[in-house]
Amino acid sequence: MVDLIIELVIIILKIGIVIGAVMMGVAYMTLAERRLSGFIQDRLGPNRAGPQGLLQPFADGIKLFFKEDFIPDSAEKLLFFIAPGMIFVPALCVIAVIPFGDSLNIFGREIQLRIADVNIGILYIFAIASLGVYGIVLGGWSANNKYTLFGSLRSVAQMISYELALGLSVMGVLMITGSLRLTEVVEVQRSYFFGFIPHWNIFLQPVAFIIFITAAFAETNRLPFDLVEAEQELVGGYHTEYNSMKWGLYFLSEYANVITASAVITTLFFGGWHLPWIEKIPMPQILLELLQIGSFVLKTAFFSIFFIWVRWTFPRFKYNQLMSLGWKVFLPIAILNVLVTGLFYAIFS
């Protein structure tokens, strides 16, 4: 009984820490987005609230909470109300299966550093991540505004055409790993080629990586594929009619999605929490674990910043370009990648 309670406390603690970390990451992503875009455009960005603008996310949050919560007269009230939640919950759920470390030994108790070690981890990620589109579709439709509806329609078409390429590009990684369990995906990447190059999937599946990261931009509705928002054409896209903290939830879930996508990219292609060459140096186990968690956080942060960096570099694709890129380029290449990987697998093993 005591054991069960301790287990429960540990799990709740882990969930709390991970959600807390993601939310802090989201808060500071908003600041990073604005400051980095400022630097890229030779500006300064917000730097007044606190040192270097570090308190800006909290100022923004307080502002959003105290804004008038206005619902348009013609809106479908119930769906309008729950749609932001429908995108926010999946955005946070995906992070549950991602291993952020090996295992920590505290007071003789082995703590696995992941919330849930699901044996269909990758399928779970795709299943939950696709649910996020309902938040966009219902939010855009229930607002009863033509621009939001356009945004929703685009979102659906974009999701369908990119999810295929996304799923197929991961197939190559799965064939190498032989498991859908993300723990094993990381485990396989812990060895070395020729004894010194880390056995990360990026070196085995570079094509899959490029397809995956490009499709991830489309999945998270970030530029150059942010047709769902497309400020210049659709006012604000699907969240035109939203304001106050409901709009804030859409905003937060966009960044939560970016962080999750970065974590998935790290896990699938860049060795997850694996910090190369560190195992050979003798050090206490707890320090090694902390270093590995640190390396996971750093890799994820790098890809999150890469998302921002790409946003402020490339212009938006046209709708037909987006579609033809998804169906005519990425889908065939992804299928070809699966075939070539299978061929190599058959010959060399």
Partner 1 sequence: MKRVSYKETWVDKLYIPAVLKGLIVTLKHLIRPHKNITIQYPEYKWKPYSHYRGAHRLNKDEQGRIKCVACEMCASACPAHCITIVPAPAPWEDRERYPIKFEINMLRCIYCGFCEEACPEESIELTEVYDFAGNSRRELIWDKEKLLEMYDLTVNEYYKGKPGTFSYSKEKKEK
**Does residue 210 bind partner 1 (CB under 8 A)?**
yes
Tell me the closest approach of the beta carbon of residue 40 to partner 1, in angstroms.
Answer: 5
Query: Residue 68 CB: number of other CB atoms within 10 A?
Result: 6
**Does residue 207 bind partner 1 (CB under 8 A)?**
no
- Choose the stretch contacting partner 1; rule: CB under 8 A; options: 39-47, 117-125, 166-174, 215-223: 39-47
Tell me the closest approach of the beta carbon of residue 106 to partner 1, in angstroms.
Answer: 40
Q: Which is nearer to partner 1, 310 or 323 (CB)?
A: 310
Q: Which is nearer to partner 1, 134 or 309 (CB)?
A: 309
- Identify the bridge partners of residue 105 per DSSP, sorted by sequence position: 110
Alpha helices (H) along the chain: 2-40, 56-66, 77-93, 121-142, 146-177, 182-188, 201-204, 206-219, 231-234, 244-269, 285-311, 319-324, 331-348
**Does residue 146 bind partner 1 (CB under 8 A)?**
no
Q: Phi and psi of 314, rounded to 5°?
A: -105, 145
* Token couple for 81: 């109300």
Nearest to 25 by CA among 290, 259, 245: 259
Q: Which is nearer to partner 1, 15 or 40 (CB)?
A: 40
Query: Residue 107 CB: number of other CB atoms within 10 A?
Result: 6
- Choose the stretch contacting partner 1; rule: CB under 8 A; options: 40-48, 185-193, 232-240, 268-276: 40-48
Tell me the closest approach of the beta carbon of residue 31 to partner 1, in angstroms.
Answer: 15
**Does residue 40 bind partner 1 (CB under 8 A)?**
yes
Tell me the closest approach of the beta carbon of residue 329 to partner 1, in angstroms.
Answer: 10
Tell me the closest approach of the beta carbon of residue 224 to partner 1, in angstroms.
Answer: 10
- Work out which of 24, 43, 78, 340 binds partner 1, going by CB under 8 A: 43
Q: Of how many residues is the chain composed?
A: 349
# chain residues binding partner 1, by CB under 8 A: 14
Q: Which is nearer to partner 1, 207 or 288 (CB)?
A: 207
Site for partner 1 in 284-313 (CB under 8 A): 309-310, 312-313
**Does residue 74 bind partner 1 (CB under 8 A)?**
no
* Rounded Cα gap, residues 237 and 258, in angstroms: 18
Question: HSE on the CB side for 285, CA within 13 Å?
Answer: 7
Tell me the closest approach of the beta carbon of residue 258 to partner 1, in angstroms.
Answer: 17
Amino acid at site 72 = P
* Rounded Cα gap, residues 169 and 180, in angstroms: 14
Amino acid at site 332 = P
Contact 165, 330 (CB under 8 A): yes
Number of helices (H) and strands (E) in the chain: give both, helices first. 13, 4
Tell how far CA 212 is from the center of its chain: 12
Q: Phi and psi of 313, rounded to 5°?
A: -110, -45
**Does residue 41 bind partner 1 (CB under 8 A)?**
yes
**Does residue 39 bind partner 1 (CB under 8 A)?**
yes
* Rounded Cα gap, residues 316 and 323, in angstroms: 13
Q: Which is nearer to partner 1, 37 or 112 (CB)?
A: 37
- Encoded one letter per residue, x for contact with partner 1 by CB under 8 A and - for no contact, window 156-195 reads ----------------------------------------
Interacting residues toward partner 1 by CB under 8 A: 36, 38-44, 210, 309-310, 312-314
